Chain A
């Protein structure tokens, strides 16, 4: 390859990177800091902003915890046992990845909205799911459902079940096997899946937007509050919140890249031992 070709390729790459990938985060920062750092930080101290941050953190922790437990169980079930229609289960787990976020919110309204199947019945018992935080949790659970299972599954399949069979012969119970034999080996993949779930959960907009009542201070998560601020012409506040949310998500994804490299290296080393 001639030097000219090489440098024009490099130049073109960096130009694309600059326009497509570097300008947007720069703009977020510059808009957030337009009136100075102090103003930006003050907008975060607004009670509605604080409540949005709190709700996002709560919803993220809950959905990550629940989906991690069930994701690991699902991956274990599918990879360690033989039973018919395992492929169908894998396909079902993958469905939410391809579903439009708006549809992911709508499905819960079809169940729990006032015109939904059970909405009116639950309303009689004063149980509110749509337009309240349980609805937000369900939407987030749906959207982030596949990530843990899908990251852990390939690794567990690769593990086979020799170690598990050996542990079983030694008299270990189900939980002992899962907790002490399978998971220690899969911990990097698990961590990677958990972090991916975290990043998705806190940034989800479309699905949550459909099931939330957009009530500031009550059912507004950070992404929804960003929209409210933006539509209310509070550009600095909107971009400050956006910067905070983007930073949280980018850190999470950054950690994941770090651990993933580590996991890859471990897998390589393991392969060499074998």
Chain B
């Protein structure tokens, strides 16, 4: 950190760049990033250790925290996984098939991005609730969605879907249909074409989409809490436990969970970024 500051400020002093305004622009950028991002994140990283080792070990021995983290990670993973085939199907028909109402579908895909999470939350809870449009018929089939783990997965599928579609779409658009036709001419069945030509090409983009949806799912709060049931050890997600700990006035507990969440989602995004760079460099070509 100090090294970085020194390097930046020495370049400030050098004033090597003839384009005017460097100092002002750099200064305001550093100031703003410092105030809005670095300062609060520093507080989060430092705070757990401030209470002393005892508080930290106590927090780490909290079974409820582990259960909540498990629920969050598991449901986020499941939802992202289910979103892969759904997302690939939607992308494929959107790009390759002359889909009736294509423009509408294209616009609808972004809906989960646009709708505020609290709205998503109460809507899904009502839709899948015991009296809801989907909840009631499902209940007749003996399937409970609302106020169970399934409810969390449903909510996360909704918020995660655009990530997969929007990650894969540009790749599929750039993949010339001729390639598929050529494979067909060479005698490949359409299933073989999809499996051997199309899917491998889309793999890196799919993993990217999966990673983004997963990272979002771990931290998701508003769209989940209304439908989750929020039972400790069963359907309580980690972000909700942060809120509960805060309500119990337990800053150490809240901060340690938040710290794990931050680390997990940052790792996820770093992984995605690494993958993207390797794809860009051509290390992963997809077609073997």
Contacts and interface: CB of A to CB of B under 8 A. Distances in A.
Q: A and B: partners?
A: yes
Interface residues of B, number: 89
A28 B219 contact: no
A81 B119 contact: no
A78 interface: yes
B158 A89 contact: no
Interface in B152-170: 157-158, 161
Interface in A98-156: 98-103, 106-111, 113, 115-117, 138, 141-142, 145
Contacts of A74: 29, 32-33
Contact of B20 (A9, A16, A83, A174): A174
A106 B44 contact: yes
B8 interface: yes
Interface in A205-236: 205-206, 209-210, 222-224, 226-227, 230, 235
B274 interface: no
A42 interface: no
Interface string A188-212: 0000000000010011111001100
Nearest to B23: A174
| Residue in A21, A80, A111 with the greatest tally of chain B CB atoms within 10 Å | A21
Contacts of B39: 111
B268 A28 contact: no
Contacts of A268: none
A198 to B, nearest CB: 11
A45 interface: no
Contacts of B8: 83-85
A76 interface: yes
Given A13-B105, A206-B222, A210-B243, A110 B114 contact: no
Contact of B226 (A6, A77, A230): A230
Interface stretch (B57-65, B120-128, B278-286): B120-128
A113 B252 CA distance: 13
A10 interface: yes
B255 A106 contact: yes
Interface string A160-177: 010011001000011101
Interface string B12-23: 000001111110
A128 B262 CA distance: 27
A117 B43 contact: yes
A205 B118 contact: yes
B17 A81 contact: yes
A100 B261 contact: yes
Given A22-B108, A92-B33, A115-B251, A174 B242 contact: no
A96 B222 contact: no
A96 B92 CA distance: 31
Contacts of A100: 218-221, 238-239, 242, 258, 261-262, 265
Given A13-B93, A77-B29, A83-B26, A206 B117 contact: yes
Contact of B37 (A9, A92, A177): A92
A41 interface: no
B110 A9 contact: no
Interface in B210-236: 215-216, 218-222, 226
Contact of A16 (B38, B89, B115): B89
A82 to B, nearest CB: 7
Contacts of B258: 100, 102-103, 106-107
A98 B270 CA distance: 10
B221 to A, nearest CB: 4
A77 B37 contact: no
Given A28-B123, A100-B218, A20 B157 contact: yes
A200 B219 CA distance: 16
Given A103-B44, A106-B242, A257-B110, A230 B262 contact: no
Contacts of A267: none
A36 to B, nearest CB: 19
A98 B20 contact: no
Interface string B40-70: 1101100100000000000000000000000
B11 interface: yes
Contacts of A117: 43
A174 B269 contact: no
13 contacts: A17-B108, A24-B124, A81-B25, A84-B7, A92-B33, A101-B117, A103-B44, A110-B44, A110-B255, A165-B18, A168-B18, A177-B20, A239-B123
Q: Which 9 pairs show the lowest CB-CB distances between chains A and B?
A: A100-B219, A174-B21, A203-B116, A107-B40, A206-B221, A205-B222, A253-B114, A223-B118, A102-B239
Given A20-B157, A24-B124, 6 more contacts: A9-B93, A81-B25, A81-B26, A106-B254, A110-B44, A210-B242
